[in-house]
Amino acid sequence: GGTPGRVRMVRSQITSLPMPAGVYSRRSLLQSNALRWLLIIVLGSALVMSARYWNNHRKRIDKSMPCSGATETVPVLDAERLSEDDLSKHQGKAVLVRGALRGGDLVDEEFGLTFRGVYLRRSIEMFQWTKDGSEYHKHWYPYVIDSMSFTRGHLNPLLMPFHDAEHILDDISFQGDPRIQVSSQLLPQFSFAHRVPITASDLERLPADLQGTFRVVHDQFFRGRDIHYPSIGDVRVHFAGIAAVNVTVLAALKGRELVPCQQASAAHVGGEHVSESALVVPGVLDQPEMQTAFFQSIDHGLGVPWWLYLLGVIHVACFAVLGFLAFFWGDFSQRIRDSRSD
């Protein structure tokens, strides 16, 4: 009768035995390390994200919205529904004018190409040798690479056979009556040209001296044997243009013309002080949408510098390794010691 009682007493004593002190200390050490590195990871991530936000915010301040449009309400005018009263009411003020542009025929006489729109650009590239240290490579370039110092067998043509060219409509204006013109000072804002596809029919319109020398490959003129395996001196010609599309212009109204706004305080654009500005965006937009498009262009064009992205990558990699060690290194080291003791 007494044996079972003793067995139960022994079992209760075994279950109530304290864990070895080393186990508790090792577990506490792991927990404290894990919490410490988790806190460091959180704080480090917050630091990197704060730096990224500050960088973008600084660029947004430096490149302020044209015509003070980010803080002031600007009247929105539809070009096709303008009246003389609207013109007189908003003279000398910043306005948003939106609507379709009037197009005209733009002719590139050298290649016989006709494009209907407001802007046409011709770009020429020639396949050439280039030198990187002691190595030579072949690439397409829009200008002549001087090869006088290159070794034999790596010489480029001395001249480009053709040159880049731009064709701009003399009178850029909106459709509608009264007719609202766009000042030539706003032309740099028309930065949304699209590729103009070249077709086989365009070959027939080439001047006589170019007939038979070019063919159409990948929506462009190509002179050479094989565009996939080009030879030195091969030429490709492609075009980009702006058709008579819908646009929204943020500028000042002067008479019947849209001109750059005079900024109350000089903005910083590309590190330079600019006292007048405007904005041209494709599409029919209102003021909030124009602000969004403007700041998106800043984030895309200026964005976060490469070194900040690199810092973020290094940060994540380092703290991932440290976090792994904090969580698991105690167990690994203990297993190694146990295996050695055995």
Can you tell me the distance from the alpha carbon of 201 to that of 302, in angstroms, rounded to the nearest whole number? 41
Residues of the chain short of pLDDT 50, as ranges, are: 5, 7, 9-17, 21-24, 59-62, 70, 265-275, 301-303
pLDDT in tens, 58-89: 544 445 667 765 456 889 999 999 999 999 99
The pLDDT of residue 301 is: 46
The pLDDT of residue 66 is: 74
The pLDDT of residue 287 is: 80
Can you tell me the distance from the alpha carbon of 115 to that of 107, in angstroms, rounded to the nearest whole number? 6
pTM exceeds cut of 0.85: no
Give the CA dihedral 40, 44, 47, 53, nearest 10 degrees: -140
Amino acid at 250: L
Q: Are 124 and 237 in contact (CB under 8 A)?
A: yes
The pLDDT of residue 262 is: 79
> Exposed (0-12), middle (13-18) or buried (19+): which is 230, by Cβ within 10 Å?
buried
In angstroms, the Cα distances linking 318 to 117, 284, 315, 326, 342 are 54, 48, 5, 12, 34
Q: Are 162 and 110 in contact (CB under 8 A)?
A: yes
**For the chain, domain boundaries:** 21-60+306-341, 74-285
Q: What's the CA angle centered on 95, arms 92 and 97, to 5 degrees?
A: 125
